[in-house]
Amino acid sequence: MLVNDILNFLNELKVNNNREWFAVNKSRYDSLRMGYEQIVKQLILEISIFDEEIKHVQVKDCVFRIYRDTRFSHDKTPYKTHFGAYIAAEGGRKSQRGGYYLHIDPAGSFIAVGIWSPEPDLLKVLRQSVFINIEEFNAIRKQKDFAANFPFFFEENKLKTVPRNFPKDFQDADLLKLKHYIVEHQLTDTVVCSENVVTKIAELAKIAYPLNRFLNYSIDEKINGL
């Protein structure tokens, strides 16, 4: 019932995205947010079984605020119309490490795994690692369960040409053009509203975990100068 109530609240918020309506419904939002935080807490526990990096991640560091930053946006609606949390070591939602993002939204919920919009220097590191270790990277993304549940990398803002310092005829050139090393799996309302939603999402996270392991190993390798 909790996620169903969250979806209903967000649907109403889309129609009434103003401070007056939100003020009247603030206690309702606070209750739903606390419930969402419990889902994230349970998810952290489940993921940490197979990804030890996640063991000490705090819920408060993972859940995003519902308030929008409208300073530089043409859209001045004050509130986001989704619930989101990024579970990752070293900062949760502020982390640059590969992690797990849960998005609850009436327009479409999903889980995403990997690194969204890495900083330029980090993006260079990841591209270089993919290039050098392409056999390992392809083995991960072509593994049966991975390919079935996460068939595509997110291609928003993808480069039109191969980045400088990489051969133009590289066999998997499209992987080097990516701006985000992240994959996602769409979640139906039936799944997110089910009693075992945490278990189902954790199972998907486990399937995609090898991608995070690859990305974070690449980061650590660069940091340690290996």
Least Cα distance to 58 among 68, 74, 71, 45 occurs for 45
Those residues with Cβ within 8 angstroms of residue 191's Cβ, 6 or more apart along the chain or in another chain? 109, 197, 200
Q: What is the pLDDT of residues 99-156, one digit of tens each?
A: 999 999 999 999 999 999 999 999 999 999 999 999 999 999 999 999 999 999 999 9
pTM: 0.95
Both tokens of residue 75? Answer: 């859209």
Residues 184-210: what's their mean pLDDT? 96
Predicted local distance difference test score (pLDDT) of residue 221:
85
Q: How far apart are CA 107 and CA 161, in angstroms?
A: 33
Query: Is pLDDT of 225 > 70?
Result: no
Residues 151-170: what's their mean pLDDT? 94
Average pLDDT, the chain: 95
68-107 burial: b if 16+ Cβ within 10 Å, else e: eeeeeeeeeeebbbbbbbbbbbeebbebbbbbbbbbbbbe
Fold held by 2-223 = BirA Bifunctional Protein; domain 2 (3.30.930)
Structural domain spans, the chain: 2-223
Both tokens of residue 128? Answer: 């270089």
